[in-house]
Amino acid sequence: MTADKPCDGVLFRQVIHVPQSAIDQNGHVNNVEYVRWMQEVAIRHSEATGGSAAMRSVGCTWVVRAHRVEYLSPAFAGDCLEAITWVATVERVRSLRRYRFIRKSDGKLLAQGETDWVFVNARTGKPCAIPETVRACFQIGKQAEP
């Protein structure tokens, strides 16, 4: 992954050059790669906004409660994709993050998904309230569409 236009306020964008190692026996990107890319782009977004530092400063971390991915069209080795993510909601201990994967050469939406993240104490693993110092690092894009 390489940075493109990292953050425009709500949306965070990351370029992915699809390697041969991401290709499965069907000749296209393996579905597991999208989940891995979702996690990577979420982490990079959090790092870019100061969210990761704010999270660590209160002794907490994010864990995944659930991933949902909808595969719409295949990607292939050598394709250049744009991964776009944004925080859709922030509740007391949870946050919903959304993703889109678009092939840059033709603008085709290849996959979309979301992750339900839970904010937990890094030592105990127990959910805890998301402090304002962490919330303030992210603009909420409830209706954001890339």
Q: Provide the whole-model pTM.
A: 0.90
pLDDT of residue 4: 45
Asked if pLDDT for residue 3 goes beyond 50, the answer is no
Q: 2-135 maps to which CATH number?
A: 3.10.129.10
Tens-digit pLDDT profile for residues 54-65: 999 999 999 999
Please, what is the Cα angle at 54 between 133 and 64, to 5 degrees? 100
CB distance 28 to 101 below 8 Å = no
Asked if pLDDT for residue 6 goes beyond 90, the answer is no
> Domain extents for the chain?
2-135
Tens-digit pLDDT profile for residues 93-114: 999 999 999 999 999 999 999 9
With CA atoms as reference, report the closest residue to 63 among 127, 14, 114.
Answer: 127
Tens-digit pLDDT profile for residues 31-86: 999 999 999 999 999 999 999 999 999 999 999 999 999 999 999 999 999 999 99
pLDDT of residue 142: 66
